[in-house]
């Protein structure tokens, strides 16, 4: 196994490793596997996005590998009939694209998934990349004054915008309150935790007051200096850390097919 960084702000590629060799948690596999998992998890904490190229995975194998990080969680609005933990992302054209915005997944839940794992079955020749932005660096590079402001804030997150797209009732959409800056439960590092897609306002602030500060934070948190992109190839398995990374699905591939299997692993209540 070879682990190397692929961009300065975040991200590492794990080569010469078939993720199926790790088996499922609790398998009768050799004790080596715990060391391999520790190595991978350390790389995940250090680099926030891991890419495993050249995999050959069934839904069961993807779920087994992901389960080493914890329990799988279902998306509120979609899932495969036979594998409800897996969402099949397909290209339905730009107009119905629901992921072309900066966000951390499912922040409208009180305990959002700590990681999302995508496996590419079919990818465009060019385009259809996923962009990532490092929210630990984004937080660290705020001024001391702005840090002291955001450190004390909580924000409301809602899935109301998403509900409309899935023809669900926005009034019934899940919502949650989270700190605007969260501490990573494994590394202890602090990261900005807001996104244009789901954050509605700060708690005890009006929407208007919140909006001007949030607009600044949205611009700051996605500066080019914090970003890396992954250009997909079939067989790529990618996992990212929703606790400290924003992502954005770039739709620049027109109607070219792009089929990806997505799942999420449960995370702690942000604190
Ligand atoms: Fe997403």
Computed from CA positions of residues 41, 42, 46, 47, in that sequence, does the dihedral angle turn out positive or negative? Answer: negative
Domain boundaries, the chain: 2-265
**Cβ distance 125 to 258 under 8 Å?**
no
- 207 phi and psi, to 5 degrees? -65, -40
- What value does the mean pLDDT of the chain take? 94
249 Cα to the center of ligand 1, angstroms: 8
* Tokens found for residue 38: 């520790």
Mean local confidence (pLDDT), 74-80: 78
Nearest alpha-carbon partner for 244 in 175, 197, 176, 183: 183
180 Cα to the center of ligand 1, angstroms: 19
Model confidence at 231: pLDDT above 70: yes
104 Cα to the center of ligand 1, angstroms: 6
* Tokens found for residue 189: 């590092």
52 pairs with which residues across the strands?
Answer: 237
Please write the tens of the pLDDT for every residue from 11-49. 999 999 999 999 888 876 656 788 999 999 999 999 999
Q: Which residues surround ligand 1, an ion (CB under 5 A)?
A: 105
Name the pTM for this structure: 0.95
193 Cα to the center of ligand 1, angstroms: 14
CATH class of the structural domain 2-265: alpha beta
84 Cα to the center of ligand 1, angstroms: 17
246 Cα to the center of ligand 1, angstroms: 8
Model confidence at 98: pLDDT above 90: no
**Cβ distance 230 to 13 under 8 Å?**
no
């Amino acid at each position: 196994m070879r682990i190397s960084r692929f961009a300065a702000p975040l991200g590492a590629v794990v080569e010469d490793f078939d993720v199926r060799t790790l088996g499922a948690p609790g398998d009768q596999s050799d004790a080596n596997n715990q060391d391999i998992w520790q190595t991978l998890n350390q790389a995940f904490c250090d680099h926030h996005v891991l890419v495993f190229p050249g995999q050959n995975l069934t839904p069961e194998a993807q779920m087994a590998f992901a389960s080493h990080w914890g329990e799988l969680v279902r998306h509120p609005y979609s899932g495969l009939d036979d594998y409800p933990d897996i969402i099949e992302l397909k290209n339905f054209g730009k107009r119905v694209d629901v992921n072309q915005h900066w966000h951390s997944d499912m922040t409208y839940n009180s305990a959002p998934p700590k990681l999302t794992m995508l496996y590419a079955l079919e990818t465009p020749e060019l385009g259809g990349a996923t962009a990532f932005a490092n929210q630990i660096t984004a937080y660290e590079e705020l001024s001391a004054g702005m840090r002291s402001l955001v450190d004390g804030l909580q924000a409301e997150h809602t899935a109301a915008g998403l509900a409309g797209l899935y023809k669900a009732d926005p009034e019934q959409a899940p919502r949650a309150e989270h700190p605007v800056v969260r501490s990573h439960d494994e590394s202890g590092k602090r990261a900005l935790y807001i996104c244009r897609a789901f954050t509605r306002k700060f708690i005890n602030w009006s929407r208007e007051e919140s909006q001007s500060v949030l607009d600044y934070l949205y611009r700051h948190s996605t500066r080019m200096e914090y970003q890396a992109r992954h250009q997909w190839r079939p067989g790529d398995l990618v996992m990212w850390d929703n606790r400290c990374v924003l992502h954005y699905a770039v739709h620049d591939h027109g109607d070219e097919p792009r089929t990806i299997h997505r799942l999420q692993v449960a995370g702690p209540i942000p604190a």
